[in-house]
Amino acid sequence: MTAASSESAGLPAIDPELVEAKAELLARIDGVRRQVGYHNPFLLDRPDLIWLVLEGAVDLYAVPVRDGEVIGVGIHVGRVPAGELVFSPGLVPSAGALVAAEEGADLALRAVAVMGTELFEAKRADVAEGDFDLIVVDWLDRWIGHMAGLAVPGAGARAAELLEAEPGQEVPAGRVLGPQPEDVIWVQCNSGRVRLMGLPELEYGRNDPPIPVARHLWVETAEDAILSPAYTPTVLFRDMAWEALDAFHHMVLTATARRLAEAAEQDGGRLETRRDASRRRFETSLGRIGRLLDRHGQTETAGLAEGAGPLIAAVDRVARETGIDPASRGAKPRGRRVLDIAQSLRLRCRRVTLTGDWWRRPGAPLVAFIGETGVGERGRPVALLPAADGRWRLVDPETDGPAGPGRPVTRAEVDSLSGEGWMLYRPFPAKPMSVGEVWRFGLYGLKGDVRTIMTCGLLAALTGLLTPIASGALFSNVIPRADLQTHLWVVLALLAGAVGILTFAVVRGIALLRLQATMDSSVQSAVWDRLLALPAPFFRRFTGGDLADRANSVSAIRELLTGSALQVGLDALFSLVSLALLFWYSAKLALVALGVLLVQVLVTGILLRIQLPDQRALLSLGGRIEGLVFQLLTGLSKLRVSAAEPRAFARWAEEFSVRKRLTYRVRLNAAAQAALAQLFPVLGTLAVYLSVATLLTGPDGRPEFGIGPFMAFTAAFGQLTMAMTSLVATAGTVLAIVPLYERVTPILTEMPEITPDRAHPGEITGRIEFSHVTFAYAPDAPPVLDDLSLTIESGGYIAFVGESGSGKSTLLRLLLGFELPQSGGVYFDGMDQAGLDLTALRRQIGVVLQNGRLMSGSIFDNIVGSWPLTQDDAWAAARLAGLDEDIRALPMGMHTVLSEGGGTLSGGQRQRLMIARALVHRPRILVLDEATSALDNRTQAIVNDSISKLNMTRIVVAHRLSTIQDAHQIYVMKSGRLVEQGDYRSLMALDGEFAALARRQLL
């Protein structure tokens, strides 16, 4: 097969000179040429043999073997192209779990060649001679790369510290070490113990040969150790390579056997789970049919993650109780913590402390742990669910099942808990939300309280009818006849009615308070969740203070709808029973009364219509003032430096005076409404009296209406007018709902950045590609980036330089997904960013911006943030950022409290603290936007040296060119295009744009 034909078949192009050179060397040793193809595969079960691929290619598969025969389906390892060497790892015994119901199976590699492949088979001992050292280095490194892909099919250890080929390195326990992406380093352990890929079964120590680590592979120190890493030539020179290669083969095949055994066990578990799911689905269907005739049937509980592990089952049970369907899980959980499982459901959660008599008070469902917990959450997970009777129930998925009823929480149960729990927060659906949908969202799980409020209101209104009815009876029968006994019974009935109304009011008030608290918690948290999930361009439309005011508008609307306005509205609604009583006594007078009320409503509506523009302008202006005040306060030090306090005050006073004028007009209108509200009851009573004299007089001049019915009518009319007067008095307040909703509408109607159809990126390696990216901030604006294409390899150190406005920061915004390109695409490990879950992607990117700020809190809180990490993690990050000594010098160390912005720290300390914050979660990609501008040369060197030892892709935007002299690749940008690229020396020698920038800095 020729080189051209190989390339057309999808194989790597063959370098004929390279193949011939190696073949010529091999001609000096005994061997045989073999023509092979896919029809005659063979096992690599003899470690003493090697095969040089002269033409074609060989695919390798890890397969289970017994007695020299393949007995199952294996996994693809990789393809060895022409010019590379195939080694034979031999067999790994005792891998019986590889094949279901098979014992004693071994694991081996199987070679399957493409058609037309030619191999040169020889003894491995022949190439171990010194004449072949230079060629063997390349062969070994490439082969180890293939085997590394077999051992770790993913992205390897996140941000492992980079190994350096220096002997006698003292490494503390728990360190994760890996090579540069393109390197192969052999790690010899002089003392202590080391684990390949962190697996206990792959542990080796002082008397063992060195183990090679390549791309995706890593070692972890099981205890304090002294390591002597070396490159392949050194290991060959020391005559240690072949024994070490055999040990490496055994370790890799052992790890593969373990992985395949776990996969087989999971497949068996999945089959069992599917059978259980089918059985439960059948039983649930029968139960659903039975509940059609059972009006008191239990709530549906199907769909929980039974068989998916106790922690997932506990989280899913709490999620369902909170109103979240676990079936909406966007992706399989990527970890074993509550936070990871909640993220798979696209939920936010927070840790809570279970203190005091919490189980005797109402609350929200929680995920808790029996026994030990903490950052690792090592206890047994349970679900704590509040019951309708005010008690709590504990559901243990391991004993009760995920859908079990659980058991009541007692003091013994409380004492067994770890004292911490997790609360889940239900988000809005990923769609634009109307006010009705927000209202229904907030009422989830509150139907009982709504029924209580409505029932008590109706009963109170019906009980209130006792007053007019009793008044009519008194004046019709009791008083004219001086019936004292009946009079006493009427008084007792009125007293009982008053007690009943009081009772109904108390019960309704309690239910209303519960509804208010629950709605405020669920709706406001959902609004802020939506706000945090919105795309970055949305935030350019509003100032920070204005946006916070808009977000809080939902809480203001809730207060208006569920506060005194709701009570008054319900009273007015239920007062319609008094209107019905008016028609019972006299339809003519009732129509007169109704006409008066309609006039009152009409006049009030006109006044409200006049007031609405002022209300809208007042709220809009209030948002602007909030934003202005926030900006003035955050920039107060700059105002003082420039002596601009008078101008700032004048700017605020100008807006404030306009606000006060609007407030005066609104209050003047409200005063007019209040005056009319007091006038209409008098006018209504006057209209009723006049109507009695004109409409209810018979032909003989005598009234058709008795004194008793008239007194009952006036009493009922008084109740109705009182309710309507209260309603009119609060109408101006309720009117604010309209502009409040208009202000919060942009938040509710904007689509969130992450939608359920986006894929999880998995564990990325750090490879990034910009493919023909063009971007402008407005459709009619000139492009900031113009047809930009570049590739950043995993583990690379890349720098972007250029004058201000050249597009460097815009490039970073596209990288982080804050902006979307108008054409072209950004790819991570070949995956289009447009189809990825950006939140999951950003969790693997550490970012330090030039204008980044510290938050108010301790140094530990600033470093760790919301990550479930420990003090050791924070100290490790501080050490990498060169900040550990500065923190130890502080009286409170890690617990030193900082004000917002970290004003007590120097500029360099603040930058290093932000670097530590970016490194603490060991990202795959580190982005530094002029993040070391405040560091002196010594500190800069410490930070660069620490970061250079981490296995991550580094992207730096730099104005100080001296900080990027060690960058693997420097891109020079101008007007949105890449005009130069290369390393520091080559760009200086080019004497172009980069050299001109450097000379300007030297002047």
Residue 905: its pLDDT value, please?
82
pLDDT value of residue 768: 92
364 and 322 in contact (C-beta within 8 Å)? yes
pLDDT of residue 5: 31
**CA 868 distance to own-chain centroid:** 14
3-state secondary structure 267-335: HHHHHHHHHHHHHHHHHHHHHHHHHCCCCCCCCCCCCCCCCCCHHHHHHHHHHHHHCCCHHHCCCCCCC
What's the CA gap between 7 and 56, in Å, rounded?
10
Provide the pLDDT for residue 131: 61
- Banded model confidence at residue 300, pLDDT cuts 50, 70, 90: very low
Contacts of 350 (CB under 8 A, 6+ apart): 422, 423, 425
The pLDDT of 902-914, averaged and rounded, is 82
How high is the pLDDT of residue 940? 78
Condensed to tens digits (0 to 9), the pLDDT of residues 387-434 reads 877 788 888 887 777 677 788 888 888 888 888 888 888 888 888 888
Mean of all residue pLDDT scores within the chain: 79
Residue given tokens 């008795």 in the structure block: 706
Asked if the model's pLDDT at residue 307 lies above 50, the reply is no
Name all domains of the chain by residue range, CATH numbers in brackets.
3-127 (2.60.120), 153-242 (2.60.120.10), 310-425 (3.90.70.10), 435-749 (1.20.1560.10), 768-1002 (3.40.50.300)
**What's the average model confidence in pLDDT over 134-158?**
74
Q: Which of 786, 790, 772, 684 is nearest to 728 (CA)?
A: 684
Q: What is the per-residue pLDDT for 240?
A: 87
The arithmetic mean of pLDDT across residues 375-388, rounded, is 74
Structure confidence by residue, pLDDT tens digits, 462-485: 887 777 777 777 777 777 777 777
Of the two residues 187 and 466, the one the predictor is more confident about is 187
Cβ neighbours for 508, distance < 8 A, ≥ 6 positions apart: 452, 453, 456, 457, 460, 567
Mean pLDDT on 12-33: 60
- How large a percentage of the chain has pLDDT more than 90? 6
Region of poorest pLDDT, from 554-558, 873-877, 907-911:
554-558
- The highest-confidence range among 206-220, 319-333, 578-592, 686-700, by mean pLDDT, is 206-220
In this prediction, residue 704 carries a pLDDT of: 62
For residue 340, the Cα-to-chain-centroid distance in whole angstroms is 9
Where is mean pLDDT largest: 301-305, 720-724, 984-988? Answer: 984-988
Q: Which is more confident, 834 or 478? A: 834
The answer to whether residue 298 scores a pLDDT higher than 50 is no
Query: In this structure, how many other beta carbons lie within 10 angstroms of the beta carbon of residue 944?
Result: 20
pLDDT computed for residue 800 by the predictor: 92
| Chain centroid offset of residue 535 CA | 14
C-alpha to C-alpha distance for 668 and 216, rounded to whole angstroms: 73
Asked whether 51 and 33 are in contact (CB, 8 A), the reply is no
Q: Which amino acid is at 845?
A: I
Tell me the C-alpha distance between 194 and 515, whole Å: 58
User: What pLDDT sits at residue 130?
Assistant: 59
Q: Confirm if 519 and 443 have CB atoms less than 8 A apart.
A: yes
DSSP state, residue 689? H
Q: Are 489 and 524 in contact (CB under 8 A)?
A: no
pLDDT at 308 > cutoff 60: no
The CA-based diameter of the chain, rounded to the nearest angstrom, is: 142
Asked if the model's pLDDT at residue 826 lies above 90, the reply is: yes
Residue 624 confidence (pLDDT) above 90:
no
Nearest by Cα to 211 from 160, 157, 148, 149: 148
For residue 879, pLDDT over 80 is answered with yes
The answer to whether residue 297 scores a pLDDT higher than 60 is no
Percent of the chain with pLDDT over 70: 84
- Residue 955: the pLDDT is 92
Query: For the whole model, what pTM was predicted?
Result: 0.70
| CA dist., res. 587 & res. 593, Å (int) | 10
Task: Tell me whether residue 279 is exposed, middle or buried, using C-beta atoms within 10 angstroms of its C-beta: 0 to 12, 13 to 18, 19 or more.
Answer: exposed
